[in-house]
Structure 1
Amino acid sequence: MRVYLPCTLPGLARVVASGELGPAPLTGYAVTPALIEWYVSGDTEELEYVALTEAARASLRMLAADRADGVKAAARRVVIAAEVPDGTVKVGTDLEERARVRVQEAVPLALLASVHVDDEDAVDDVEAAIEALPAADEGDDDAQFTVDGAEDHELMWYATQEISDLLT
């Protein structure tokens, strides 16, 4: 199953150093039966884009959490796409997050299919979104607009062979 796992650049560096993404369980996003049912008219590519977008939103929250903990992380969302065995994926029933899954085992580097990362042009908007998250969570429409503005930026696609170049 293709699973989109939210991450950050420091997190990606840890994946490369350790040889796996973990520890499990990991929250990811995938084309689930609930997503297919909800997005009736979409093809597989559209549904995968929805899952990727959900993972990018989770990456934004990871960046905010890292910043709150004093971790210096570039304001660039990161999503790792991995092909994981179906048996390691638990599909949830949360109607709010139809694409959310839990990966029950650490994901070895060998299962990574690609990495998706914000271009440097997105940094200012992602930075603003990180700062606006608390107010958006409180229901501030202007702050939510700022958070949504980060999604105006498409994530760049990187092959697994390019990860080391991406991190330097």
Structure 2
Amino acid sequence: MRVYLPTTLPALAGVLAEGRVGGEPIAAFAVTDALRATGGDDEELEYEALLSAGDASLRLLAADPSAPRRRVVLAADVPDAIVTATPDEAGPASVAIGGSVPLKRLASAHVDDAGAAEEIGAAAADPEAGHQDEHELMWYAVQELKYLVE
């Protein structure tokens, strides 16, 4: 199952150093039955799960004023058996992952452009206001992640 893991750049540095995403259970987002019930095709539903993770990343930024003002979402492919839907916690795409996610399971990352930092900073000051929707998350290959945290 493809899951979207919200994080920040400092936390990403820790993930790269440790070789895994930890913190069981891990809060994430995916195409769940509850999300499917809202309608849309598979591509639209995946995008909605990604956006939900982006919103969660914004809340992580709000909690860490020292983190660079860029949302970070890691996409990973994990076994269905370790994923549990938790739709009442953070929307219909919300899931919990039981166990860690090794780096080899990461498929890509989605990160705000550095030029969006001012607007993302303003959105982090009020995460529920929705200002972050003006910026698309940029796609990064897993091999490029080390350059984001240098």
Q: Does the pair score TM above 0.5?
A: yes
Instruction: Map residues 6-85 of structure 1 onto 2, 5 A cutoff.
Output: 6-38=6-38, 40=39, 42-67=40-65, 72-85=66-79
Q: Alpha carbons of 1:96 and 1:29: their partners in 2 closer, same or farther (altered >3 Å)?
A: closer
Shift of 1:96: 6.2
Shift of 1:132: 2.5
Once residues 121 and 166 of structure 1 are traced to their aligned partners in structure 2, the CA distance between those partners, rounded to angstroms, is 14
Query: For residue 105 of structure 1, what is the amino acid of its counterpart?
Result: G
The sequence identity of aligned pairs, in percent, is 51
Match of 1:164 among 132, 138, 146: 146
Shift of 1:58: 0.3
Secondary structure of 2:96's match?
A: strand
Secondary structure of 2:64's match?
A: helix
Shift of 1:92: 2.0
Q: Alpha carbons of 1:2 and 1:156: their partners in 2 closer, same or farther (altered >3 Å)?
A: same
Query: For residue 150 of structure 1, what is the amino acid of its counterpart?
Result: Q
Match of 2:96 among 99, 102, 111: 102
**1:150 aligns to what?**
132
Once residues 95 and 119 of structure 1 are traced to their aligned partners in structure 2, the CA distance between those partners, rounded to angstroms, is 29
Larger Rg: 1
Count of residue correspondences: 150
Shift of 1:150: 1.2
| Stretches of structure 1 lacking an aligned partner (at least 5 in a row) | 137-143
Shift of 1:10: 0.3
Deviations along 1:82-102, one digit per CA (max 9) or x if unpaired, are 001100000124286100000
Taking only aligned residues, the RMSD between alpha carbons, in angstroms, comes to 1.3
Select the structure with the greater relative contact order (CA < 8 A; seq sep ≥ 6).
2
Once residues 90 and 126 of structure 2 are traced to their aligned partners in structure 1, the CA distance between those partners, rounded to angstroms, is 21
4+ aligned runs moved over 2 Å, structure 1: none
**1:125 aligns to what?**
119
TM-score normalised over the length of structure 2 = 0.95
